[in-house]
């Protein structure tokens, strides 16, 4: 996030959400941004994390740094959304193509927030990552926190400037519960009712101070980036599935 990650979160079990990705400058260095594995050789993250800095990804690891578990894969190329200028203008998305396929199953990607219960106002979603906490600059282990999705118009009035409804969404705004510095590019997901599976609805983009009541953070709206994703990343699983 520009300026700030999981704040007020709880530790994630090791086997939970192995598709969570840490973006690294070197194989065993700290993850400076988050991401999500959306296809065997593709990761979705935020454009403001920077294409030149993303040289490795860590997938399926519990830890901020090192090579104690999971896998490290070199980034083959980074592709920034063609309409990205800066996080405040929306379209804060970047795809990372990996040198080889990950052994972990990807997360499903939302098809449309308008035709489903996913990504709509008052929905409960989960953010996760290794970002700043209320007691430390970064968490050594993965954390997660549940957040409420906001109505865009109310979010705009609350934070004091326009956001791009088609490419952004707001979530959070609860005391001591937020994404924060270091979580940039990380996933915002909703659980598919009655299952153990998630749908990726957002990417951590920017916000103000972490964990302030009434001050939500802004996320890239994944459903707005489907054309960009489909153009480069074959094999992405979408939910709800497209009608036959």
Active site residue 209: no
Q: Which residue has the higher pLDDT, 9 or 238?
A: 238
> Does the pLDDT value for residue 106 go beyond 70?
yes
> Does the pLDDT value for residue 112 go beyond 80?
no
Active site residue 115: no
pLDDT at residue 8, rounded to an integer: 57
Phi, psi of 225 (to 5 degrees): -105, 15
pLDDT interval class at 208 (50, 70, 90):
confident
With a CB cutoff of 8 Å and minimum separation 6, the contacts of 52 are 78
The active-site residue out of 31, 48, 58, 164 is 48
Q: How many CA atoms lie within 13 A of 6 on its CB side?
A: 23
Q: Of the candidates 210, 224, 203, which has an alpha carbon nearest to the alpha carbon of residue 112?
A: 224
pLDDT interval class at 165 (50, 70, 90):
low
Domains of the chain, each with CATH number or no CATH: 20-106+225-235 (2.40.10.10), 109-223 (2.40.10.10)
Mean pLDDT to the nearest integer, 143-168: 88
The active-site residue out of 102, 139, 167, 184 is 184
Q: What is the mean pLDDT of the chain?
A: 89
Are the C-beta atoms of 69 and 62 separated by less than 8 Å?
Answer: yes
> Does the pLDDT value for residue 217 go beyond 90?
yes
Active site residue 48: yes
Mean pLDDT to the nearest integer, 99-120: 86
| pTM (predicted TM-score) | 0.93
The active-site residue out of 58, 92, 139, 164 is 92
The Cβ of residue 144 has, within 10 Å, a number of other Cβ atoms equal to: 19
Q: Is 29 exposed, middle or buried (0-12, 13-18, 19+ CB in 10 A)?
A: middle
- What is the tens place of the pLDDT at every residue in 12-46? 877 899 999 999 999 999 999 999 999 999 999 99
pLDDT at residue 5, rounded to an integer: 42
């Amino acid at each position: 996030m520009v300026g700030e990650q999981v704040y007020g979160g709880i530790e994630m079990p090791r086997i939970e959400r192995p598709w969570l990705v840490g973006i690294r400058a070197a194989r065993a260095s700290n993850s400076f941004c988050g991401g999500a594995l959306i296809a065997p050789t593709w990761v979705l993250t935020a454009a403001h994390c920077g294409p030149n800095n993303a040289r490795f990804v860590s997938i399926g690891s519990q830890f901020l740094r090192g090579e104690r578990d999971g896998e490290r894969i070199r980034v083959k190329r980074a592709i920034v959304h063609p309409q990205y200028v800066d996080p405040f203008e929306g379209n804060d998305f970047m795809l990372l193509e990996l040198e080889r396929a990950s052994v972990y199953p990807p997360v499903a990607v939302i098809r449309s927030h308008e035709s489903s219960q996913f990504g709509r106002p008052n929905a409960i979603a989960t953010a996760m990552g290794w970002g700043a906490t209320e007691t430390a600059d970064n968490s050594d282990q993965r954390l997660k926190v549940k957040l409420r999705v906001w109505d865009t118009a109310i979010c705009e009035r609350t934070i004091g400037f326009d956001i791009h409804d088609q490419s952004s969404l707001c979530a959070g705004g609860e005391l001591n519960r937020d994404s924060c510095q270091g979580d940039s590019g990380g996933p915002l997901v909703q659980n598919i009712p009655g299952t153990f599976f998630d749908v990726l609805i957002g990417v951590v983009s920017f916000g103000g101070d972490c964990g302030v009541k009434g001050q939500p953070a802004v996320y890239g709206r994944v459903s707005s980036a489907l054309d960009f994703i489909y153009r480069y990343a074959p094999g992405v699983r979408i939910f709800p599935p497209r009608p036959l």
